[in-house]
Amino acid sequence: GCVLDGKLYPFGEIARTESCFQCSCSPHAMSCCSLFHTPTGYDKENCKIVFNRESCDYDVVEKNNPSKECVVYSHV
């Protein structure tokens, strides 16, 4: 298998790792792509980004009231 972040994964396709990556594991190499997009266009003065491991994505919330989501205009 392949080891990523200290965890052993079996050979083959891995739909989602614990660190939110989709990977392909072979006897020769392991290649991975992230399952999340980083927000870039949002109100950085009043909002902050928080990584949500359950959804494997970033939430953009108000700094003063994290229960309120902020509008995101672009991701990378």
At residue 8, what is the residue type?
Answer: L
Does the pTM of the predicted model rise above 0.75?
no
CA gap 36, 7 in Å, rounded: 20
CA gap 69, 62 in Å, rounded: 6
Which domain does 9 fall in, by range? Answer: 2-34
pLDDT at position 51, please? 94
State whether 27 and 44 are in the same domain.
Answer: no
Per-residue confidence at 76, pLDDT binned at 50, 70, 90? confident
Q: What is the pLDDT of residues 9-68, one digit of tens each?
A: 999 999 999 899 999 999 999 999 999 999 999 999 999 999 998 999 999 999 999 999
State whether 25 and 44 are in the same domain.
Answer: no
pLDDT at position 42, please? 97
pLDDT at position 63, please? 97
The CATH number given to whatever domain includes residue 67 is: 2.20.25.590
CA gap 30, 70 in Å, rounded: 36
State whether 70 and 43 are in the same domain.
Answer: yes
**Structural domains of the chain, count:** 2
CA gap 62, 64 in Å, rounded: 6
State whether 68 and 43 are in the same domain.
Answer: yes
